[in-house]
């Protein structure tokens, strides 16, 4: 018997040991490959080790074809692709739509998302919703994008409210302010401006300008009889009023002459002082106020401070400005971001998590995490998803991408803004929209994928359904009329 033969038994043990070793090597090699793949590594055609990045592509509408450096990928959106580190030209295509494209840089081991591409139909087909015998004063949409409010050009106290619950067929409700809400004008020269909506998507804060005076009206679109004149309610004559945390019943009241910031709430006539020596301010949430003040500042300087109920922090020192201070703050992924500059300067300074940093370094100003450069900027705004912050002056733009810590600086004199527009607006979380040369223009945050949509008026910002399947715009018609129209952003086959 072989197993009794010592030589053959030794040979079998050696063979078995070699087998175990080979199996162990194979397992270790497979594990190493999996580990490399987990960290984004792969193997090239020549067997050399390369590092991949994971890239997600989505689109509206979906699916769309994906071309990578001109080569059609077997995958379509929505998908994820492993790409070796490098620079790529990506193009998304779909029949009936204009192409979307951009260059991307893939870093080894990185994960990137391109969830925002919006494909525009080759042909846009506006249809009439309503017409106005004259030019409305304003058109504004609610934060939820369910409602559009338009002032009737025939009367300062009449409004049309469009419900977009069915985006293809908006329903119209006519509203009329109660008598004596607006103070009478002795000269007949008066207008209304929209300050903003509350988060309940029901109340709108309006500024009534008449006879070189200003008053503020809280318009209740759900129960118009409950609309109130805030000046008479609180017995005030403020420079400006804003919502506190976008709540319809709480307000910050600013008086530029006395440089005081106060607060008040409906249901009480008490006006409570909050801050003194305020040159400009921007609030966030219920408690945080970013403001500019000369108190404690060096000559020809202002301090930018952040007020909280527990403590006030000095964030930065800026040159004293003869213009307006641009201030903004919000949170992105739970982290507070603040931005500050002035309309007579050239820089907007961005600060990440400023309160935490100031608490750890008391008595010191913060170094900004990023600086945007535009001469004499007139606007500063975060995108709707707060990932981007943009400042501009006409066709000069600077944008900071918070998520990827990237900045973009660009100018396009061929896309100057038609007056009386002062600035472009965020269409959504990733795109800007404005009117240039009589056309509505849409572009990605970094100036890619510029799209000319349809003729539009620079007096009105277009509105969109919540799913961005429809755009609503006001534009001049014939015989002095203005036409409210709906434009599908999908082809008829995709609606």
Helices (H) and strands (E) in the chain, counts: 3, 40
Rounded CA-CA distance 415/432 in Å is 12
pLDDT classification of 364: cutoffs 50, 70, 90 = confident
Q: How does DSSP assign 449-487, residue by residue?
A: S-EEEEE--TTS--EE-TTSSEEEEEEE-STT-EEEEEE
pLDDT classification of 404: cutoffs 50, 70, 90 = very high
The pLDDT tens digits of the residues spanning 183-206 come to: 999 998 999 999 999 999 999 999
Rounded CA-CA distance 161/182 in Å is 19
Residue 279: which of 293, 289, 297 has the closest Cα?
Answer: 293
Rounded CA-CA distance 51/83 in Å is 8
The pLDDT tens digits of the residues spanning 295-304 come to: 999 999 999 9
Instruction: Check residue 32 and give its pLDDT.
Output: 44
Rounded CA-CA distance 357/348 in Å is 19
Contact between 212 and 228 (Cβ < 8 Å):
no
Confidence check: pLDDT of 416 > 70: yes
pTM: 0.89
| CA angle at 86 for the pair 112 and 66, rounded to the nearest 5° | 60
Tokens of 363: 């008595």
* Beta strands at 171-176 and 158-163: parallel, antiparallel or unpaired: antiparallel
Contact between 330 and 285 (Cβ < 8 Å):
no
- Count the residues in the chain: 495
Phi, psi for 32 (deg, rounded to 5): -65, -40
Contact between 318 and 301 (Cβ < 8 Å):
yes
The pLDDT tens digits of the residues spanning 262-296 come to: 999 998 989 999 999 999 999 999 989 999 999 99
The pLDDT tens digits of the residues spanning 222-241 come to: 999 999 999 999 999 999 99
Contact between 293 and 277 (Cβ < 8 Å):
yes
Choose between 112 and 32: higher pLDDT.
112
Tokens of 455: 């003729």
């Amino acid at each position: 018997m072989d197993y009794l033969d010592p030589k053959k038994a030794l040979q079998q043990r050696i063979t078995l040991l070699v087998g175990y070793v080979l199996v162990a090597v194979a397992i270790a090699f497979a594990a190493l490959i999996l580990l490399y793949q987990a960290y984004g590594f792969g193997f090239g055609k020549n067997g050399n080790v390369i590092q991949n990045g994971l890239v997600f592509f989505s689109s509206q509408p979906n699916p769309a074809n994906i071309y990578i450096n001109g080569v059609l990928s077997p995958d379509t959106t929505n998908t994820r692709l492993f790409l070796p580190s490098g620079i790529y030209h990506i193009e998304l295509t779909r029949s009936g739509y204009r192409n979307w494209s951009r260059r991307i840089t893939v870093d080894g081991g990185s994960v990137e998302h391109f969830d925002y591409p919006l494909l525009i139909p080759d042909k846009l087909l506006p249809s009439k919703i309503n017409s106005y015998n004259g030019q409305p004063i304003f058109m504004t949409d609610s934060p939820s994008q369910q409602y559009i409010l338009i002032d009737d050009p025939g009367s300062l106290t009449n409004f049309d409210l469009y419900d977009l619950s069915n985006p293809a067929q908006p329903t119209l409700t006519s509203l009329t302010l109660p008598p004596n809400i607006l103070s009478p004008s002795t000269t007949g020269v008066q207008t209304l401006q929209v300050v903003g909506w509350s988060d309940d998507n029901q109340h709108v804060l309006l500024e009534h300008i008449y006879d070189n005076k200003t008053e503020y009206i809280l318009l209740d679109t759900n129960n118009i009889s409950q609309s109130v004149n805030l000046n008479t309610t609180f017995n005030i004559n403020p420079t400006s009023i804003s919502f506190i945390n976008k709540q319809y019943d709480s307000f910050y009241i600013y008086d530029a002459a006395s440089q005081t910031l106060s607060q008040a709430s409906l249901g009480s006539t008490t006006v409570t002082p909050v801050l003194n020596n305020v040159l400009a301010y921007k609030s966030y949430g219920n408690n945080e106020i970013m403001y500019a003040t000369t108190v404690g500042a060096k000559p020809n300087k202002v301090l930018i401070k952040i007020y909280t109920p527990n403590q006030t922090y000095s964030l930065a020192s800026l040159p004293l400005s003869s213009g307006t201070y641009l201030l903004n703050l919000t949170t992105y992924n739970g982290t507070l971001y603040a931005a500050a500059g002035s309309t007579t300067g050239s820089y907007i300074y961005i600060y990440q998590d400023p309160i935490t940093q100031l608490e750890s370094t008391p008595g010191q100003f913060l170094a900004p995490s990023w600086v945007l450069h535009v001469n004499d900027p007139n606007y500063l705004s975060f995108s709707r998803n707060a990932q981007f912050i943009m400042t501009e002056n006409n066709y000069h733009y600077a944008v900071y991408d918070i998520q990827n810590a990237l900045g973009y600086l660009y100018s396009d004199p061929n896309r100057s803004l038609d007056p009386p527009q002062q600035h472009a607006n965020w269409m959504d979380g990733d795109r800007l929209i404005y009117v240039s040369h009589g056309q509505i223009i849409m572009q990605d945050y970094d100036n890619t994928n510029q799209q000319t949509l349809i003729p539009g008026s620079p007096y009105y910002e277009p509105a969109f359904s919540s799913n961005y399947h429809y755009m609503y715009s006001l534009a001049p018609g014939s015989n002095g009329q203005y036409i409210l129209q709906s434009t599908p952003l999908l082809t008829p086959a995709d609606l």
